[in-house]
Amino acid sequence: MTGRSKTVKCVVWDLDNTLWDGVLLEGDQVSLRSGIVDVIRTLDQRGILHSVASRNDHDKAMEKLVEFGLDDYFLFPQITWGAKSASVANIAKSLNIATDTLAFIDDDQFERDEVAAGVPGVLCIDATEALDLPDLPGMQPRFITEDSRQRRAMYQAEIRREGVAEGMAPEEFLRSLGMVLTITEADESDLARVEELTARTNQLNSTGIIYSFAELEAFRQSPDHLLLVAGLEDRYGSYGKIGIALVEQTNEAWLLRLLLMSCRVMSRGVGKVLLSYILQQAALEDKTVRADFVRTPRNRAMYLTFKLAGFKEVERVDNVAHLSHDLSAIDPFSDYVDVKIGR
């Protein structure tokens, strides 16, 4: 096993002599390796996705996966004759996740080395160790939530959305979705998912801070803090809980300590809607709103969300931008999103 990885978000499988015994194009009567299906299902239930990077005949390999009843588990399978490093990179891009959250399993040392060299950070695993995957630390999320269990279905719904979006103008597509954004104060049952989101999300995260379950519970019960959770659904299904806002309420202002949105809704514009709700509530109490933004290599999109909502940068200390909104002009909710408040 080589390479370094954070908590694994997706396992990328080779096929010949890895997922199954035998070589498909050599005419072998390939059969699934004993115990592999249980590994795939166990990780899937933990919210860990699966894909394929295999040098093979695409149609024949997919036919075999269908025959084995496994095709539905593999998102964006890359079955080509190109380099596997390119396939692994394409999978990360398609899933919109960092490459250092991928694990790659192959029986061939050359292929593992080629991926490790071409896509740094990928956890490369020998196929002989495949049955041990559920026991690896990186394959054991701290919490397994309902959103975790539905993660693959959520990605599959997104694939269907993207198919519909082709040929449509962006705003026309957004209007066609029938999105419903629900904003609620977090309760105890939300905290596992909230902690998971802070640990998993780094593109639409205003500070990059990861809060523990205990810290979140303290904020939830504090009279000086407001912990909001946003969920999203549309006509294709639920996105699950996709947004968090942590507000510290002082006598002078509301301080937005964390704003976070799932990367899966980056193009939906709902981060700005959540910000508008916070600004509206602050205005009712005649409070200005301030926010901290910690610049990272990947969260520029979140900074743009603040700017589009009317925040202005008033000070910068090192990589921390202090933002402020005077509430003189608060954008209304987007008319293509139905916003529901409360449970």
Question: Where does the chain show beta strands of DSSP type E?
Answer: 10-13, 20-21, 31-32, 49-55, 78-80, 102-106, 123-126, 179-185, 225-234, 237-249, 253-261, 288-294, 312-317, 320-325, 337-341
Range of the domain at 214: 146-341
Domain-embedded: residue 165: yes
Structure tokens at 220: 């939830």
Contact indicator for 272, 309 with CB cutoff of 8 Å: yes
Give the model's pLDDT for residue 213.
Answer: 86
Instruction: Using alpha carbons only, give the angle 86, 91, 95 rounded to the nearest 5 degrees.
Output: 150
Same domain (yes/no): 106, 169? no
In this prediction, residue 332 has a pLDDT band, given cuts at 50, 70 and 90, of: very high
For range 203-217, the mean pLDDT = 85
Mean pLDDT of the chain: 91
> Percentage of the chain with pLDDT > 90?
70
Over 70: is that where the pLDDT of 283 sits?
yes
pLDDT digits (tens, 9 = 90+) for 108-153: 999 999 999 999 899 999 999 999 999 999 999 877 888 889 999 9
For range 275-298, the mean pLDDT = 91
Closest residue by Cα to residue 292 from 246, 333, 226, 327: 246
Of 89, 118, 139, the domain-final residue: 139
Give the model's pLDDT for residue 1.
Answer: 59
Lowest mean pLDDT among 101-115, 243-257, 289-303: 289-303
Contact indicator for 273, 311 with CB cutoff of 8 Å: no
306/267 Cα distance (integer angstroms): 15
Give the model's pLDDT for residue 201.
Answer: 61
Same domain (yes/no): 162, 246? yes
In this prediction, residue 192 has a pLDDT band, given cuts at 50, 70 and 90, of: confident
Give the model's pLDDT for residue 3.
Answer: 47
**Cβ-proximal residues to 147 (8 Å cutoff; 6+ apart), any chain:** 47, 154, 193, 196, 240, 241
Lowest mean pLDDT among 8-17, 178-187, 205-214, 313-322: 205-214
Give the model's pLDDT for residue 202.
Answer: 63
User: What CATH number is associated with residue 179?
Assistant: 3.40.630.30
Same domain (yes/no): 172, 135? no
Overall pTM > 0.75: yes
Give the model's pLDDT for residue 219.
Answer: 93
131/41 Cα distance (integer angstroms): 12
Same domain (yes/no): 122, 224? no
